[in-house]
Structures are given as structure tokens and as C-alpha cells.
Amino acid sequence: MIAKVFLIAACASIAVAQYAAYAPEPKYAPAPYSFEYSVNDPHTYDVKSQHESSDGSGNVKGYYSLLEADGSTRTVEYTADDYNGFNAIVKNSAPAAGYKPAYSAPSYSAYKPAY
């Protein structure tokens, strides 16, 4: 019985000791940044962009947009900070005149089973 208690205590001390070597993650102050990207692939119709920036005090401002399957464009403008949290405004524009999707789902209304 004493050997079991000793074995359990030894295993527990080894398990705890291995985590004592890890230092806590350092805290870094927010730094100003700005980034943006855009994609316009005519083969896949993948059209999107994003821009975001921060002033370094935790305030973030940005937008992203994407081309929807129906030809409309969705744009999301957003801000985020410690006081108000994340806030977004979503805008949708009408499809461009004459826009035809590259692919449309087939219609199965004319399907007749073969009996």
C-alpha cells in the first residue's frame, strides 16, 4: 500500500515539475498596423478584398467585400474597440447590368423516372 502511494506521489511530482519549466506568455502592447489584399480570379469568379488598420491603442477599423453568386457585391465595414466591442455595417449592391453567373444549378423539374 505504501509503495502505491509513493508511486502515485512520484508520478504526480514529475507531472507537475515538467510544467514548472514553462514561462508564462509575455504580454505585448498593441502596435499600430495596416494591411490589405485583393483577389480577382476570372476563372473561379473569386473576387474579394479586405483592408484593416489599427492605431495601436486597440481601436481597429476596416472593411471587406466579396462578389456574391448572383453578381451583387457585399461590403462589410467594421470597427472594434475595448469599449464598444465589434460593430459591423453590411451593405449589398445590385448586380452589374448584364451579369450572368458562370454556373447555374441544373433544373430537375423535367426529370421523369424510368420505370
Name the grid cell of 60: 481597429
Q: C-alpha 96: how far from its chain's center?
A: 27
DSSP assignment of 44-87 equals TTEEEEEEEEE-SSS-EEEEEEEE-TTS-EEEEEEEEETTTEEE
Specify the pLDDT at position 62. 97
The ranges assigned to domains in the chain are: 35-84
- How many CA atoms lie less than 13 Å away from 92 in the CB half-sphere? 7
Specify the pLDDT at position 1. 64
Interval 57-77: pLDDT, tens: 889 999 999 988 888 899 999
